[in-house]
Each structure stands twice: as structure tokens, then as C-alpha cells.
Amino acid sequence: MHDSLQLAQEIIKFGMGGLDKAVQEYEKLMLPRAVAMIEDSAMMNEAMFAEDSPAPLLKAFEGFGQHGAE
């Protein structure tokens, strides 16, 4: 939904006559987020299928949800 919102905002900014520019600007916003998701996915893939699995997977989840638990 975040992507849809950002693309819609760019279309509003550039209008229907500027769809190519709207998509180009949207892609500039999307690319860093997509790269981060790909990197996270690759790390999780390595953790899940490691020879010593599930140890790396458990390590990846260590501390998850503990922020603000004090």
C-alpha cells in the first residue's frame, strides 16, 4: 500500500500527462526500499538454510520485540 500511495502522489504531482516522469520519480523512492528488502531476504534465506540451522535464524530473531519491555 505504501508503494501505491507514493506512486499516486507522484501522479498527482505530475498529472496524467506526466506519467513517465511520475513513474521515474516514484522509482527513485522505491529503489532504496527494495534493495533493503532484498538484502534482508537474502540474509534470512542464508539463516534458514544454513548447515547449523536453526541457530542463525534464532540469532537473527534475538531481541526481537524486546524494545521498550523494561
Query: Does residue 6 belong to any structural domain of this protein?
Result: yes
Can you give the length of the chain in residues?
70
Query: Does residue 33 belong to any structural domain of this protein?
Result: yes
% of the chain surpassing 70 pLDDT: 89
Report residue 30 as a C-alpha cell: 522505491
Structurally, how many domains does the chain consist of? Answer: 1
Structural domain range at position 31: 2-61
**What average pLDDT does range 26-43 have in this prediction?**
93
The pLDDT assigned to 66 comes to 61
Query: Does residue 69 belong to any structural domain of this protein?
Result: no
Query: Does residue 68 belong to any structural domain of this protein?
Result: no
CA–CA distance, 7 with 27 (Å, rounded to integer) = 9
